[in-house]
Structures are given as C-alpha cells and as structure tokens.
C-alpha cells in the first residue's frame, strides 16, 4: 500500500500554502542531523535491502532481508532476547526488535510497523534492474524505494544510531519488519498480533506505509497522517438453479436473481457516519473551500448533521467514501453454455467498511438488502478462502488524534517542511494497520517521505525516491522516535 489518500485535500491545500508558504531560512537546521557515518550506514542498509528480492515469488525471500537486519542489530549489541526472528513460514520470517526503556516504564511501548515485502517487478519492464540500488539523476531507483524499504531502512538506521549514541527511552520502542503485506498467505502483521501479542503490544502503532508529504513542483502542499482506516472485505454472492434447456425458459433464473440483487446494491447507500478523524478532515477542508461546498462541509459537522448537505457532498466519490461503508460489485461469472439455463451466477462485492462495524454486520445488511433467500452471501478471506460467515471483529472507532503523536509529528514536520498543513485522514484503502486497529490499538500512518504527487510509482515501474527525501525522512524518524520515546 502507499498513500493516495489526500488528493482532494491537496488540491485545496495548494491554494492555501501558495500564498502562505514562506519557509524561514535553515529551519531544518533546528533538527539534529545525521553524521557522515550515520548516513553511510543508513545508505548501506537501504542498498542492502533493495538488492534483496522480497517479492512473493519463487525468487523472493523476506527472511533473507529480515535476517540481515537481525544480524545488524545483534552486531550492534542489541541483547539477543530483544531481537526476535519469528514467523509461520521459513521464507516469510518477521523481525521484531525491542529497544528497551531504562527502568520500568510507565507507558506502553510505541510500535513502528514496516512491511519488508515488495510487489513483483520485472527487469523487462524497467529501465534499470529493479533489484539493483541505482543512483541516477538525483534519485534512488529500485523496487521498494517508495513502498516501503526507504522507511524500513530509515527506521533500522534510526534504532542503530540511537543505540550507538546511548539513548535511553522512557518507554520501549519496538520495530517490526514484516512479511506479506502486499499479498501472500503469511501476513506478518496479522500473524504477530495473533501469535505474539506480547512482542508487539503497544500504546499505538506508527506505520510509515501510508501518509506523507505531497509535493507540487517541489512545494510541500499537505502532510497527511492516516489516523484510521476502513476494513477491506470481499463477499461472494451466489444464485443457484437446476438449469435446463434454454428453449424452455422459466421465471426462476440464476442470472436474473443475481442481477436483481446487484441492482438493489447499485441503488443503495449505507448510512452517513462521521468519526473524530473525518470530522477533523472536513473541518480542515472547509477552511480552505468556498461557497456552497464550504457551507456544506460545515453543515455536516453540525449536530445533527445536515443530511441534504451530506447528499450533495456524497456526489464526490472521495467524500462519499469518507462518509460511509461502501460496497460495489467488482466481478461477475455466470452460466455454463449459450443454450443452457444458468445453473450458477456469482458476483464478488467488495466492501470498504467504516471503522466501528464488522464484516459480519455488513454481510447481514447485504442479506437484508437483497431480501432473497435463494441467494447466498459468503465471506471471502484475503487468502481467497470462502466462509459462510464473516469475522465479527470491528476496527476501533478512532479516538481523537493523540497529541502525544501529533505534537511531535507537527513540530518536526514543520521544521523540515515549514508551513505545510498537516491533517489526519481516513484511509479508504487498506494497510497492515488494520490488524492492530482490530486488536484495539490506534494506528497512525505517516512516512515522512515527500513525493511529487505525479511521481507516485509504488507498485509501478522505475520506482524511485528523490535522494533528498530519504535524508529528510531519516532526520524525521530520528527526532520523532526520540520524542515518542521521551514521553
């Protein structure tokens, strides 16, 4: 996953910042910089993990990368009992490193969650070898330079540097480098929560797999922080029929029954909802909008919300996705032969569930909406297995953005990108944060990576990161980890 979460916001933010952006000289110098030796190490780590193929293919192996990082931590003197290489598959091992607080901490740890796997990349599609770390034209090229080995490397380097400097946090800091975020059957985040809650239990999670700074022509226009996310769920809708000869059609017909249900779905909107994150998001947005749109955004924040304003705003897909659970038909398969009545008609309905509701709750609502006992509505897991019922765990309704996170995040971001507006957003896609959110742990997605909005190449060809972006993120992580560790 990699952000696309703030595009609408960014358009308006650009209007605001174009006139107000006036960076004081050397603002970034207020932050402690990495030494030449720190930088050399951070670059070596970045190069090392880019050049280890961690795709979910026969050529890929996450363990090679996580074991290489394990070696770095042990060589640096992290105690062996704080460095855990664990997992359900020998090729998909996760590394969990605990940077221990001095004494007995009052507060639960902070977990930095980073996936180490990447999406497949073919040499034939790329201008460079995707598994070579290539420095060219002011960029680092390679699969994972945007998603998200830059943050994996940045956080490994940060932990090693803090340790070398003898830093003692007041609470434990944990770094988890995980497998199978991009697909595959051994998702490390989910597995760790289920099987090693003790290793990853935390007050909150920082996940650099989403959020970040959007640039337009080099100017930072918005820093988006993912403060909650929707739950991804697929449902399989099936109509069955005894079939027969197509020369003798009957009213009962699997295709008609299925399409009648889908037609109901097309016309249906799940109820309007807001939470602490989307309220802040629309409040920020309203401040930069004008006319009816600004008025509508304020009207939905009223108590009770103005439902006519909500309906007008819902015409914009990005806003609509922020207001409710959405379900949409994405696949269809039916029939056996041109001259036979269909015995099966099947659709996949993909839902993005508003935090606070469970997949099973949505499955029941779909059954109610279709109101056809002849249809079955089953749950399809991420691994593609089909179940009669769906999980009933719900992601937590997000608490108001935590000042323990937002204060240092804002201060350090502002030192690096002065004046950039910072806003919490709800992610409508999905990241590994959801497994922690479902376990009741708040998650914040922020990469501190600044990218031009038209140069997002995660999952694409010639993935690359501006050299300066890497070093700024390194400065960010160092000050941020220290600030969180000091609380």
Q: Compute the half-sphere exposure of residue 241: CA atoms within 13 Å on the CB side of its CA.
A: 25
Task: Find the shortest distance in angstroms from Cβ 146 to Zn ion.
Answer: 9
Among the residue ranges 69-77, 95-103, 118-126, 144-152, the one whose residues contact Zn ion (CB under 5 A)? 144-152
Inter-residue contact 140 to 449 (CB < 8 Å): no
Distances (CA, A) of 230 to 16, 434, 467: 28, 8, 32
Residue 1 vs 416, nearer CB to Zn ion: 1
Residue 152 vs 475, nearer CB to Zn ion: 152
Q: What is the C-alpha to C-alpha distance for residues 166 and 457, in angstroms, rounded to an integer?
A: 37
Is residue 234 at the binding interface for Zn ion, with CB under 5 A as the rule? no
Among the residue ranges 90-98, 143-151, 170-178, 463-471, the one whose residues contact Zn ion (CB under 5 A)? 143-151
Angle at the Cα of 121 from the Cα atoms of 115 and 126, rounded to 5 degrees? 130
Is residue 150 at the binding interface for Zn ion, with CB under 5 A as the rule? no
Q: What is the C-alpha to C-alpha distance for residues 58 and 446, in angstroms, rounded to an integer?
A: 31
Is residue 227 at the binding interface for Zn ion, with CB under 5 A as the rule? no
Among the residue ranges 202-210, 233-241, 304-312, 335-343, the one whose residues contact Zn ion (CB under 5 A)? 202-210
Is residue 152 at the binding interface for Zn ion, with CB under 5 A as the rule? no
Residue 141 vs 323, nearer CB to Zn ion: 141
Residue 149 vs 363, nearer CB to Zn ion: 149
How many C-beta atoms surround the C-beta of residue 398 within 10 A? Answer: 23
DSSP state of 296: H
Is residue 148 at the binding interface for Zn ion, with CB under 5 A as the rule? yes
Task: Find the shortest distance in angstroms from Cβ 169 to Zn ion.
Answer: 26
Residue 147 vs 226, nearer CB to Zn ion: 147
Specify burial of residue 402 (Cβ count, 10 A radius: 0-12, 13-18, 19+): middle
Among the residue ranges 126-134, 207-215, 310-318, 432-440, the one whose residues contact Zn ion (CB under 5 A)? 207-215
Distances (CA, A) of 283 to 9, 306, 357, 401: 11, 15, 24, 14
Among 56, 117, 147, 427, binds Zn ion (CB under 5 A): 147
Q: What is the C-alpha to C-alpha distance for residues 303 and 456, in angstroms, rounded to an integer?
A: 38
Task: Find the shortest distance in angstroms from Cβ 2 to Zn ion.
Answer: 5
Q: What is the C-alpha to C-alpha distance for residues 198 and 129, in angstroms, rounded to an integer?
A: 40
Among 41, 209, 234, 475, binds Zn ion (CB under 5 A): 209
Residue 172 vs 180, nearer CB to Zn ion: 180
Residues lying near Zn ion in the complex (CB under 5 A) are found at 1, 147-148, 209
């Amino acid at each position: 996953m990699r952000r696309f979460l703030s595009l609408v916001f960014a358009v308006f933010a650009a209007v605001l910042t174009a006139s107000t952006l006036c960076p004081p000289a050397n603002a970034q110098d207020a932050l402690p910089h990495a030494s030449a030796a720190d930088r050399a190490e951070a670059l070596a780590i970045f190069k090392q993990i880019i050049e280890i193929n961690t795709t979910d293919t026969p050529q890929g192996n996450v363990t090679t990368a996580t074991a290489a990082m394990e070696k770095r931590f042990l060589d640096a003197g992290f105690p062996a009992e704080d460095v855990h290489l664990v997992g359900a598959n020998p090729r998909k091992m996760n590394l969990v490193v605990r940077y221990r607080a001095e004494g007995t901490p009052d507060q639960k740890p902070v977990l930095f969650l980073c996936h180490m796997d990447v999406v497949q990349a073919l040499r034939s599609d790329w201008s460079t070898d995707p598994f070579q770390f290539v420095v060219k034209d002011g960029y680092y090229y390679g699969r994972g330079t945007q998603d998200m080995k830059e943050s994996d490397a940045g956080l490994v380097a940060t932990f090693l540097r803090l340790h070398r400097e003898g830093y003692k946090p007041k609470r434990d800091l944990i770094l988890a480098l995980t497998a199978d975020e991009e697909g595959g059957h051994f998702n490390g985040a989910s597995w760790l929560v289920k099987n090693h809650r003790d290793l990853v239990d935390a007050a909150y999670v920082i996940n650099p797999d989403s959020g970040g700074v959007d640039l337009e022509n080099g100017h930072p226009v918005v820093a988006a922080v993912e403060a909650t996310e929707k739950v991804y769920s697929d449902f399989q809708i099936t109509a069955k029929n005894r079939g027969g000869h197509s020369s003798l059609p009957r009213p009962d017909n699997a295709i008609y029954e299925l399409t009648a249900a889908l037609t109901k779905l097309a016309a249906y909107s799940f109820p309007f909802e807001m939470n602490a994150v989307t309220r802040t998001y629309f409040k920020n947005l309203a401040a930069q909008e004008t006319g009816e749109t600004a008025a509508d955004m304020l009207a939905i924040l009223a108590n009770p919300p103005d439902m006519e304003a909500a309906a007008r705003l819902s015409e914009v897909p990005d806003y609509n996705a922020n207001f409710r659970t959405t379900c949409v038909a994405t696949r269809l398969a039916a029939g056996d032969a041109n001259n036979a009545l269909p015995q099966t008609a099947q659709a996949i309905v993909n839902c993005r569930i508003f935090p606070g509701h469970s997949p099973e709750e949505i499955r029941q609502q779909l059954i109610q909406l279709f109101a056809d006992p002849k249809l079955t509505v089953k749950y399809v897991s991420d691994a593609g297995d089909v179940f009669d019922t769906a999980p009933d765990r719900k992601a937590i309704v997000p608490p108001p953005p935590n000042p323990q996170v937002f204060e240092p995040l804002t201060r350090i971001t502002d030192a690096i990108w002065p004046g950039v507006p910072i806003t919490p957003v709800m992610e409508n896609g999905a990241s590994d944060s959801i497994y922690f959110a479902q376990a009741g742990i708040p998650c914040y997605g922020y990469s501190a990576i600044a990218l031009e909005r038209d140069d997002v190449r995660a999952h694409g060809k010639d993935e690359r990161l501006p050299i300066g972006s890497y070093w700024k993120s390194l400065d960010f992580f160092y000050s941020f980890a220290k600030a969180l560790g000091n609380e």
